[in-house]
């Protein structure tokens, strides 16, 4: 019985396991198929782009699989020529950069020389000459010591008595002063001198000369007046015929009729001229045009000029695309809403759109220029008309000015005649006044002579009185001389005593001056010492300043050398700039030539991304379907039936009752408690623990 149950269970397990293995194999096959389809959809397939104005592309395909095995690109001949030119320039720039070190080597050498000079300045030993000089001044000064010693000698000298010895004789009463006093007393007591009084008495009577001068003045006063100047002036007081003629000429010129020729000439120019009217009408015709109409006419003319060339360009491009087999190739629409077309046609249409926009802008400028031209013609016409009118007004004003000048000349001539007549009358009046002045002068001269005679008599009397007063003055002066001599004697004695006192005071001043001089010498000695030490300190400071300047100069040479090295490096590095620029242009032209290849790869990448997404969705669906199919395929009815039949308790009891043996202890041949299905398991798996 156990062997039968085990066999049934084993058979069921084998059938179920075989069904599960078949289901797994079918799921793996479905997943491999889906993965192959997804990989095929995600494979990179570059989209063919023939080229651009910068470069062209070509593709290589596998004859067996039809897959792209390689792609290449080439620059257009024009771009290749540009690249070759830039490459030659880059080579020249690299040559210049290689030669830059030799060209700028003088900067490097100059920098090294400055470095060397700076190092030599910094390595120079300190100059001790000024310091040694300062050391000589910092010690005690010999001049100061000598001045101090001299001051001490002046202070140590005893006071001088030279002036005091000289003053003693002057302090006693002077004999010379007593003699002067006696002379003054004798002069004061002397009798008066009568000679000046006698001389003055002779001049108090009137003199003969003064009487003669007085009689001459009376004769001049009584003389008859001279009538010649009065007669001369009376002849000029009558009106002058010459003045009347000048006045009549001026009146004729003033009353002459005005000259109308300038007025007639100016009146002809006051009306607008035909030229100004024509310019104004032409300017109005330009200004009166509508700017939109001018722009449309400009656009029509420009488009008519461009139409033949555009038609020929379109035909040539269509023929080229047809010969290349790309007549229907479309690479996408533009951002402005234009339909899909070839790159060449799209570039042509874009260029034409830009050209049309430029022409439209030019049309707007043409409208503005037309209006501005019309406005300029209007302005010129108005200016021409105004110029004619201004000329006419100027001619009229010139005629009026000439007439005014004629009238002013007439007035001037009349005024000149009047002035000439007035000048003659003024001359006559002047002659009469001159005659009166001469007579008056004669009378004044007579009066002067009479006055001089009187003054001469009075002068003689004044001289006599002066002689008497002079005699009295001499007597007074003699008396004053006597008094002065007596006072001089007293003052001389007092002066001698004052001179002695001054000598004593001078002695004291000399002694004080000697002491002050000694003190001054002491102070000067100290000042000399301090000045010497200060000069020494200044020399030391100057020594330090020179050292600092030397160090700064050396450091400055280092800085200048560093600057030259920096310039050298900058120039050498900057010499590579032309090469880098030209090489960058070569690279950019290469990148522009690779544009079609990059576009092909980009379009292929987009197609690959879409195929990969489609393959991914197919793979996910296939995996889900395979998993569902696996669950259905791994179910085996026969395997489950066998396994269920073998594990049915009723069947096991029946088989155990049919084939199994037990004893009173409920044991079997397999051991205690191991009967039926448990015994069969014991036979297969061994005793359980």
Gap between the Cα atoms of 309 and 152, Å rounded: 124
Gap between the Cα atoms of 264 and 270, Å rounded: 10
Domain match, 412 and 491 both = yes
Identify which has the larger pLDDT, 77 or 47.
77
Give domain status of residue 74, yes or no: yes
**Residues spanned by the domain of 75:** 2-94+584-647
Give tens-digit pLDDT for 585-615: 888 888 888 888 787 777 777 777 776 777 7
CA angle in degrees (0–180, nearest 5) for 550-552-555: 110
Q: Cβ of 52: how many Cβ atoms within 10 Å?
A: 18
Q: What is the model's pLDDT at position 1?
A: 45
Q: What is the mean pLDDT of residues 440-450?
A: 76
503 CB-side CA count, 13 A:
17
Q: What is the mean pLDDT of residues 168-185?
A: 72
Indicate the SS3 state at residue 59. strand
Share of the chain above pLDDT 90, in %: 1
Contact (CB, 8 A) for 184 and 485: yes
Give domain status of residue 564, yes or no: yes
Domain match, 420 and 386 both = yes
Domain match, 298 and 393 both = yes
- Asked whether the predicted pLDDT for residue 652 surpasses 70, the reply is no
Q: What is the model's pLDDT at position 106?
A: 86
Domains in the chain, number: 2
Identify which has the larger pLDDT, 6 or 273.
273
Q: What is the model's pLDDT at position 11?
A: 64
- Asked whether the predicted pLDDT for residue 661 surpasses 60, the reply is no
Q: Which of 111-115, 182-186, 640-644 has the lowest mean pLDDT?
A: 640-644
Give domain status of residue 146, yes or no: no
- Asked whether the predicted pLDDT for residue 634 surpasses 70, the reply is no
Gap between the Cα atoms of 57 and 39, Å rounded: 27
Q: What is the model's pLDDT at position 159?
A: 72
pLDDT mean across residues, the chain: 74
Q: What is the model's pLDDT at position 3?
A: 59
Gap between the Cα atoms of 386 and 372, Å rounded: 21
Domain match, 591 and 544 both = no
Give domain status of residue 623, yes or no: yes
Q: What is the model's pLDDT at position 48?
A: 62
Domain match, 620 and 488 both = no
Identify which has the larger pLDDT, 335 or 76.
76
Residue 671, beta-bridge partner list: 668
- Asked whether the predicted pLDDT for residue 355 surpasses 80, the reply is yes
Contact (CB, 8 A) for 392 and 273: no
- Asked whether the predicted pLDDT for residue 208 surpasses 50, the reply is yes
- Characterise 621 by phi-psi region: left (phi > 0), alpha (psi -120 to 50), beta (else): alpha
Give domain status of residue 106, yes or no: no
Give domain status of residue 173, yes or no: no
Identify which has the larger pLDDT, 548 or 13.
548
Gap between the Cα atoms of 287 and 281, Å rounded: 10
Torsion of CA 37, 39, 44, 48, to 10 degrees: -10
**139 is written with which tokens?**
């010690």
Gap between the Cα atoms of 677 and 674, Å rounded: 8
Question: End of a domain among 539, 572, 605?
Answer: 572
H/E element, 72: strand 68-75
Give domain status of residue 64, yes or no: yes
Sign of the Cα pseudo-torsion (208, 213, 218, 220, in order): positive
Contact (CB, 8 A) for 83 and 586: yes
Q: What is the model's pLDDT at position 669?
A: 47
- Asked whether the predicted pLDDT for residue 46 surpasses 70, the reply is no
Domain match, 555 and 635 both = no
Q: What is the model's pLDDT at position 64?
A: 83
- Asked whether the predicted pLDDT for residue 621 surpasses 60, the reply is yes
336 CB-side CA count, 13 A:
6
Contact (CB, 8 A) for 126 and 547: yes
Q: What is the model's pLDDT at position 8?
A: 61
Domain match, 390 and 245 both = yes
Domain match, 595 and 540 both = no
Domain match, 443 and 524 both = yes
- Asked whether the predicted pLDDT for residue 102 surpasses 80, the reply is yes
Domain match, 485 and 611 both = no
Q: Cβ of 333: how many Cβ atoms within 10 Å?
A: 12
Domain match, 389 and 330 both = yes
Instruction: Give the confidence band of 667 by pLDDT, cuts at 50, 70, 90.
Output: very low
Q: What is the model's pLDDT at position 337?
A: 47
Domain match, 567 and 590 both = no
């Amino acid at each position: 019985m156990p062997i039968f149950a085990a066999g049934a269970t084993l058979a069921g397990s084998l059938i179920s396991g075989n069904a599960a293995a078949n289901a797994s194999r079918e799921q793996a096959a479905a997943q491999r198929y889906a993965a192959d389809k997804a990989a095929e959809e995600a494979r990179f397939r570059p989209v063919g782009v023939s080229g651009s104005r910068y470069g062209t592309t070509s593709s290589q395909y596998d004859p067996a699989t039809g897959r792209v095995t390689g792609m290449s690109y080439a620059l257009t001949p024009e771009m290749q020529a540009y690249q070759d030119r830039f490459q030659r320039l880059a080579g020249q720039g690299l040559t210049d950069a290689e030669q830059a070190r030799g060209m700028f080597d003088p900067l490097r050498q100059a920098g090294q020389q400055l470095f060397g000079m700076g190092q030599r300045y910094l390595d120079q030993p300190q100059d001790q000459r000024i310091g040694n000089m300062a050391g000589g001044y910092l010690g005690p000064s010999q001049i100061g010591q000598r001045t101090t010693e001299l001051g001490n000698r002046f202070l140590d000298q005893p006071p001088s008595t030279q002036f005091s010895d000289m003053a003693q004789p002057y302090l006693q009463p002077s004999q010379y002063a007593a003699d002067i006093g006696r002379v003054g007393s004798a002069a004061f007591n002397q009798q008066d001198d009568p000679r000046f009084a006698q001389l003055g008495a002779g001049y108090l009577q009137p003199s003969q000369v003064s009487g003669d001068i007085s009689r001459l003045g009376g004769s001049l006063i009584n003389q008859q007046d001279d009538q010649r100047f009065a007669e001369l002036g009376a002849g000029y007081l009558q009106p002058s015929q010459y003045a009347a003629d000048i006045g009549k000429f001026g009146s004729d010129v003033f009353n002459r009729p005005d000259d109308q020729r300038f007025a007639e000439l100016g009146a002809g120019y006051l009306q607008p001229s035909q030229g100004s009217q024509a310019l104004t009408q032409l300017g109005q015709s330009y200004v009166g045009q509508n700017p939109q109409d001018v722009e449309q006419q400009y656009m029509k003319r420009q488009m008519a000029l461009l139409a033949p060339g555009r038609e020929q360009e379109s035909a040539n491009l269509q023929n080229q695309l047809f010969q290349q087999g790309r007549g229907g190739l479309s690479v996408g629409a533009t951002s402005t809403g234009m339909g899909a077309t070839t790159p060449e046609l799209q570039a042509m249409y874009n260029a034409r759109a830009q050209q049309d926009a430029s022409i439209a802008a030019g049309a707007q400028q043409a409208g503005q220029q037309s209006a501005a031209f019309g406005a300029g013609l209007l302005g010129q016409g108005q200016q021409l008309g105004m110029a004619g009118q201004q000329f006419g007004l100027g001619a009229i004003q010139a005629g009026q000015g000439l007439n005014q000048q004629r009238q002013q000349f007439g007035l001037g001539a009349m005024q000149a005649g009047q002035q000439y007549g007035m000048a003659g009358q003024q001359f006559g009046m002047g002659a009469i006044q001159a005659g009166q002045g001469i007579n008056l002068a004669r009378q004044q001269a007579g009066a002067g002579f009479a006055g001089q005679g009187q003054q001469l008599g009075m002068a003689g009397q004044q001289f006599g009185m002066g002689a008497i007063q002079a005699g009295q003055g001499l007597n007074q002066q003699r008396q004053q001389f006597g008094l002065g001599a007596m006072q001089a004697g007293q003052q001389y004695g007092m002066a001698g005593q004052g001179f002695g006192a001054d000598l004593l005071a001078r002695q004291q001043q000399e002694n004080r001056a000697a002491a002050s001089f000694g003190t001054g010498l002491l102070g000067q000695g100290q000042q000399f010492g301090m000045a010497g030490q200060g000069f020494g300190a200044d020399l030391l400071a100057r020594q330090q300043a020179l050292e600092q300047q030397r160090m700064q100069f050396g450091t400055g040479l280092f800085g200048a050398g560093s600057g030259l090295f920096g310039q050298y490096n900058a120039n050498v590095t900057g010499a590579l700039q032309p090469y880098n620029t030209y090489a960058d242009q070569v690279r950019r032209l290469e990148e522009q030539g690779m544009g079609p290849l990059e576009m092909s790869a980009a379009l292929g990448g987009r197609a690959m991304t879409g195929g990969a997404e489609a393959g991914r969705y197919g793979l996910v669906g296939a995996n889900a379907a395979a998993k569902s199919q696996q669950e259905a395929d791994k179910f085996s009815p026969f395997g489950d039936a066998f396994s269920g039949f073998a594990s049915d308790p009723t069947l096991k009891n029946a088989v155990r009752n049919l084939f199994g043996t037990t004893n009173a202890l409920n044991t079997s041949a397999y051991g205690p408690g191991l009967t039926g299905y448990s015994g069969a398991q014991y036979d297969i798996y061994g005793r359980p623990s």
